Amino acid sequence: MLATMLTFGQDSLFIMRGAWDQIPEAPEVLRLNASADWSEQNAVFEREAATASNLVVVNADTTSHVWALLIGETDGITIEPGDTAVVDLPALPMGTYRLGLIDGEGIGLGAQSMLQVGLQSDGDPVLFHWNLCDWETQQMASWSSGTEPDPTAAYVPNYFSINEQTYPTTLEDPNALVSVALGDTCWIAVANHGQMDHVLHFHGFHVEVLSSNLQPARIGWSKDTVPVKKGEGMTVQLVANQAGIYPVHDHNLIAVTNAGFYPGGMLTQIIVDP
Ligand SMILES: [Cu+2]
DSSP annotation string for 82-117: T-EEEEEE----SEEEEEEE-SHHHHHTT-EEEEEE
198 CA distance to ligand 1 middle (Å): 13
Instruction: Fold for 3-122, please state it.
Output: Immunoglobulin-like (2.60.40)
Query: 195 C-alpha to center of ligand 1: Å?
Result: 22
CA–CA distances in Å: residue 247 to residues 32, 171, 193, 216, 250:
28, 11, 22, 26, 10
What is the structure's pLDDT at 7? 44
What is residue 249's predicted lDDT score, i.e. its pLDDT?
98
For the chain, 274 residues long, the average pLDDT of each consecutive 10-residue run is: 47 96 96 96 95 95 96 86 95 96 96 94 86 97 94 95 98 98 97 98 98 96 97 98 98 96 98 97
What are the pLDDT digits (tens) for 222-245?
A: 999 999 999 999 999 999 999 999
Q: What's the gap in Å between 33 CA and the centre of ligand 1?
A: 32
Residue 192 CA, ligand 1 centroid: distance in Å = 19
- Chain segment 110-131, per-residue pLDDT in tens: 999 999 999 976 778 999 999 9
Q: State whether residue 7 is helix, strand or coil.
A: helix
Dist. CA 55 → ligand 1 center (Å): 38
Neighbours of ion ligand 1 (CB under 5 A): 201
- Please give the distance, rounded to the nearest whole angstrom, from the Cα atom of residue 147 to the centre of ligand 1: 38
95 forms beta bridges with: 117
Expressed in angstroms and rounded, the spacing between residue 103 Cα and the centre of ligand 1 is 35
Q: Give me ligand 1 centre to Cα 225, in Å.
A: 8
State the pTM of this model: 0.95
Please name the helix (run of DSSP H) or strand (run of DSSP E) that holds residue 79, with its range, or none: strand 77-79
Question: Hey, what CATH topology would domain 159-273 get?
Answer: Immunoglobulin-like (2.60.40)
Fold match between 3-122 and 159-273? yes
Instruction: Indicate the domain borders of the chain.
Output: 3-122, 159-273
Distance 40 CA to ligand 1 centre (A): 28
> How far away, in angstroms, is 230 Cα from ligand 1 center?
20
What spacing in Å lies between the alpha carbon of 253 and ligand 1's midpoint? 10
CA neighbours closer than 13 Å in the CB half-sphere of residue 147? 7
Distance from Cα 231 to the centre of ligand 1, integer Å: 23
Distance CA 117, CA 114 (A): 9
